Chain A
Amino acid sequence: MEADTDTRDATGGDASLDILLRRRDIWRGGTPLPGGDALPTGHAALDDALGGGWPRGVLVELLTDLHGIGEVTLLLPLLAAQTDAGCHIAFVAPPHIPYAPALAQAGVCLERVLVITTQDDAETLWALEQALGSGACGVALAWPGRADTRALRRLQLAAERGRATGFLYRETRQAAHASPATVRLLLSPADAGLNIRILKRRRGWGGSVVVVPRVVGGVGK
């Protein structure tokens, strides 16, 4: 809304401001920047809300306290596309063992799936950093438990180095704390599916809410 008001002011008012605003290197938060290296999420509404899709080479935090609301299903289109493109995907310290038939139903190529189990949080963070920085994985999903800002910063650097997107499943109370993750989404169950509140995103403001319809094991329901 504010952005719209600004534009109207600019067009109706000072011409020099208008010229200034038309410069390519001036960006105003209201309009998402085109371009950028984004991976389609598989959900048109979410793509729009994230400015094209999941950014590549960053950390994405998915905040939820519940397992089983479709928090991984949300990523299945991305995982399928990644394995199709020849990248590996890694599950680091998952709460349960990923069930191969469900992944196969979603079109994920199982030969490119790595499951890494760890003993403690330190190992999880280390393994995730290795997976992100290796250049072999396109996407790594992790359930890191406790992670301080320094550890997250390291992960962010590893993701940049390996051009891999790291998805971290963390508790919702982390929303109150700052994080170096580029994208932060708050997930909650909704009647029609999964409710996604965007807390932070690249090239734009957070705050919007997207509902992704729920699918059950590849079959819309």
Chain B
Amino acid sequence: MKPLARTRQHSLPGLDPAPVRVAVPADTPLPRARNRPGSLWLALYFPHLALEMIAQEDAAPMPLVVCQTVRGRQLVHAASRGARGSGIRPGTPLGDALGLCAELRVRQRDTAAEHAALHTLAAWGLQYTDHVAVEEGHVLLLEVGRSLRLFGGMKRLRRRILADLETLDHHARTGLAVTPLGARLLARSGIAEPARDTDTLAALIRELPVEALEWPEAVVQRLRGMGVNTLGALWRLPRDGLARRLGAWLPAYLDRLTGYLPDPRPRFEPPPSFERRLWLPVETHDQAMLRTPLQRLLRELAGVLRGRGMAVQSLDLRLLHARRPATHVNLGLAAPGRDPDHLLALCMERLSRQCLDADVTGLELQAGAFLPLPHRDTALLPDVEAQADARQSLLDRLRARLGRDAVFGLALRDDHRPARAWARTDPADSASVSIAPPGYGPRPLWLLEHSLPCPPSLRRVHGPERIETGWWDGGGERRDYYTAEDRHGVRWWLYREHGTDSVRLCGVFG
């Protein structure tokens, strides 16, 4: 067998000698891989993607099918576990399915959404490797050869990816092989054993039927007609004969499958924003019911952000209704972040003050501007760091529930007029300039928003302090300010307009 392989290796592609592998025994090794050493592909096949477009229920899920129209007939495309329990299979006509299960929920298949979901998952996959490819048939390919060391080996990486997918309510079959096509074949055929070299791959796929290659139906039929039922049998056929009968692409495909020919895959370029829609299993107007699907969306977002090393500072959440425009909810953060638990807590606070006029049928999460995650040094003073974190998260929570304007900071302004001597600031904005307190007379802790008429019988405590300024900007003020105490012991700040007898209260010494 070895001489054969060697011949194959040293010959130039296209100048192969005449069929040399006519009577090769069944355990013929495949041609040696010429792939870059260390290259390893993980294929993720999502068999239930159509069902996973709909958020899962926490307990006792109702039987659910996703159906699509095929040649004018409504056929079941995918059936949930509950529905399969009633005997419904993919391909069952919808009428029959409804007959089999009375409480069946039916959703129409949305291929565009599935496509979008696969692309989001591809962006999510970038947290494990820099090379992800999106394939037809609900398959993602991840080149993980260079990530193994970082993630502590193949087994750990695969377990971690599957566990992370589980938190997103996605279920994938995996295939690990040295070539992309091999990985895909293993994943689609449900073979979990890894093929870290060509020989293992050959042994694993030898007994697979030719249908597993997902070739056009006509080609498969011809191979079956020729008596070629398994991949092993296909391998034993002379290559030029195959090329003559079925086209030159076929031996080339086999060479790419085994790694003899290079099989470059385009790198997935993640979009600059995140947009994802998730349908609820049942319509609801209870905010608490949105928690689980929202958590799933935010985890997905967090994965995408991790893959790009980015964070977000604002989120747009749209609550979709049937036959009504969506409810728009915007959420801002004090600092860029991507912790899904924190984001979820904020969203739930924000939703708790959103009154829902109509039942929610689905959620759509959008995150536009990705920002670099604030750089973090290993803190010299961990307390200071923790304090700053606590402050940010407090601000976020307060603003999510009370509104942005309900929380503010204070600053001094360089003006003697009492009403203009201070300003509200944004506490999230740390760049506010502070000025030294000027040395003026006593100031009350509370400044009244609107001045009040002065009650009788006040006793003067301090004053007058004359403030005469602002003539240049139209807000001129000529007032004498006094501190006075009423008979209850409450101290007021009051002023008399210069040249009049009108005395008004403008502050309280709290």
**Residues on A close to B: CB < 8 A?**
66-73, 86-88, 94-105, 109-111, 113-119, 123, 126-127, 130-131, 134-137, 188-190, 214, 216-219, 221
B449 pairs with A97, CB closer than 8 A: yes
Nearest A residue (CB) for B391:
A136
| Residue from B387, B411, B418, B510 in contact with A110 in the complex, judged by beta carbons closer than 8 Å | B411
Interface of B is mostly: mixed
Contacts A70-B510, A97-B449; A102 near B443 (Cβ below 8 A): yes
Complex A-B: 26 CB contacts under 8 Å? A68-B492, A69-B488, A69-B489, A73-B445, A73-B509, A97-B446, A99-B418, A99-B444, A99-B445, A100-B412, A101-B418, A102-B444, A102-B445, A105-B437, A105-B442, A113-B409, A113-B410, A114-B409, A123-B402, A126-B401, A134-B391, A135-B387, A136-B390, A136-B394, A188-B489, A221-B442
A96 pairs with B393, CB closer than 8 A: no
A216 to B406, CA, bound (A): 29
| Residue from B411, B462, B492, B510 in contact with A100 in the complex, judged by beta carbons closer than 8 Å | B411
A131 pairs with B409, CB closer than 8 A: no
Instruction: Assign chain B's interface to a size class.
Output: 35 or more
Closest 3 CB pairs of A and B: A189-B489, A217-B442, A68-B490
A71 to B489, CA, bound (A): 11
Give the residue among B445, B461, B490 with the most A Cβ atoms within 10 A.
B445
The interface residues of chain B lying within 8 Å CB-to-CB of A127 are 398, 401-402
A104 to B435, CA, bound (A): 10
A-B contact count (CB 8 A): 159
Nearest A residue (CB) for B435:
A104
B442 pairs with A219, CB closer than 8 A: yes
> Is B163 interfacial (CB 8 A cutoff)?
no
A115 pairs with B446, CB closer than 8 A: no
For residue A214, give the distance in angstroms from its CB to the closest CB of chain B.
8
Contacts A97-B447, A101-B440, A134-B393; A217 near B409 (Cβ below 8 A): no
> Is B369 interfacial (CB 8 A cutoff)?
no
B406 pairs with A189, CB closer than 8 A: no
The interface residues of chain A lying within 8 Å CB-to-CB of B391 are 88, 134, 136
> Is B150 interfacial (CB 8 A cutoff)?
no
A181 to B446, CA, bound (A): 26
A111 pairs with B406, CB closer than 8 A: no
A117 to B399, CA, bound (A): 11
B443 pairs with A69, CB closer than 8 A: no
